[in-house]
Amino acid sequence: MIYLPDTMTNWPWPRAINPLFEDVKAEVNASFRDFKALSPESQDAFDKCDFGSTGEKKKLWSVGCDLTNIYFIVDEYTNIENVAATKEMLDIVLDALHNPHKTRPEGECILGEIVRQ
């Protein structure tokens, strides 16, 4: 068991949730869900997560939510793979990041298309 302290208990500065958070979170999560990249159990676990980020503009919120989704899905896919398969998946992710206008190959792991978009 790992104990994580509540770092916000003595936080000295005012906190506020960005007013765009709920709308952007719903849009981004619906888009992510449309990929159908997770098993029902994993999707359920993902849906229970409450990812938050900071920013003042809707676009920044969207990027933050997208990035969190990418972290989650890459972790989900690579947790069950060996080193060689994990490296192949991460090479796909990096290629999609470096070449966002490149059409992803037929039959490629869904991670490439998720990251490309």
Q: Which residue reads 């981004």 in tokens?
A: 28
Q: Give the end-to-end CA distance of the chain in Å, rounded to a whole number.
A: 37
Which of 5-9, 86-90, 92-96 has the lowest average pLDDT? Answer: 5-9
Encoded tokens for 85 = 């398969």
Residue 82 has pLDDT above 90, yes or no: yes
CA distance 5 to 27: 31
Residue 24 has pLDDT above 50, yes or no: yes
> Which residues, including other chains, have CB under 8 Å from residue 57's CB and lie 6 or more apart?
20
pLDDT digits over 44-80, tens only?
887 777 655 444 455 656 777 788 889 999 999 999 9
Sorting pLDDT into bands at 50, 70 and 90, what band is 42?
confident
